[in-house]
């Protein structure tokens, strides 16, 4: 049961942290585009990348969550 809790916590934490990092990067890009005359508005850019951003968040969260789950479960097994 402890391994299930560790796996769920690891995947949840990785989804949250990856989401924060990606949202911050996209917000910085959108803000930087505001100063360029040939760039679309930040709202148009965010609507254009929204679907891709959700997919990337899911993929990176699964990768990071898998590594974090394996590491934390190995640590729990080693300590327990």
End-to-end CA separation in angstroms for the chain: 13
pLDDT at 79 over 90: yes
pLDDT on residue 73: 93
Q: In which band, very low, low, confident or very high, does the pLDDT at 15 lie, cut at 50, 70 and 90?
A: very high
Least confident of 11-15, 33-37, 56-60: 33-37
For the chain, how many structural domains are there in total? 1
- Domain span at 46: 2-79
pLDDT at 58 over 90: yes
Helix axes 2-33, 42-79, angle to 10 degrees: 150
């Amino acid at each position: 049961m402890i391994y299930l809790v560790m796996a769920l916590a690891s995947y949840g934490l990785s989804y949250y942290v990856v989401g924060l990092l990606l949202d911050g990067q996209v917000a910085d890009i959108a803000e930087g585009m505001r100063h360029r005359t040939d760039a679309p508005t930040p709202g148009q850019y965010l609507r254009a990348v929204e679907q891709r951003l959700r997919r990337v968040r899911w993929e990176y969260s699964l990768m990071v969550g898998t590594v974090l789950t394996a590491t934390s479960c190995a640590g729990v097994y080693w300590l327990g």
